[in-house]
Amino acid sequence: MIKFAALSFALAFLLSPSGFAQKIEIESDSGVDFNRFHTFAIRDARLNSRNPSLNNDIIRHRLEADIRAGLEAKGLTYVESGKSDLNVTFTLGAVGKVETEAYPAGWRGWGTRVVRVPYTEGTLVIDLRDPSTRMLVWRGIAREEKSDASKVEAKLDDMARKTIDKYPKLPVRRGQ
pLDDT tens, position by position, for the chain (176 residues)?
A: 444 444 444 444 444 444 446 899 999 998 999 999 999 999 999 998 888 888 899 999 999 999 999 999 999 999 999 999 999 999 998 776 677 776 666 666 677 767 776 656 788 999 999 999 999 999 999 988 877 777 888 899 999 999 999 998 766 655 54
22-98+116-164: which CATH number, 3.30.160.670, 3.60.10.10, 3.40.50.720, 2.60.120.10?
A: 3.30.160.670
3-state secondary structure of 110: coil
Cα 64 to Cα 70: distance, rounded to the nearest angstrom:
10
| DSSP code at position 50 | S
Boundaries of every domain in the chain: 22-98+116-164
pLDDT computed for residue 119 by the predictor: 56
Q: How many helices (H) and strands (E) does the chain have?
A: 4, 6
Closest CA to 32 of 85, 75, 91, 71: 85
Closest CA to 134 of 92, 83, 86, 80: 86
Q: Do residues 146 and 122 make contact, with C-beta atoms less than 8 angstroms apart?
A: yes
Closest CA to 90 of 123, 53, 120, 116: 123
* Amino acid identity at 56: N
pLDDT computed for residue 114 by the predictor: 73
Name the pTM for this structure: 0.75
Q: What φ, ψ does residue 165 adopt, rounded to 5°?
A: -60, -25
pLDDT computed for residue 27 by the predictor: 93
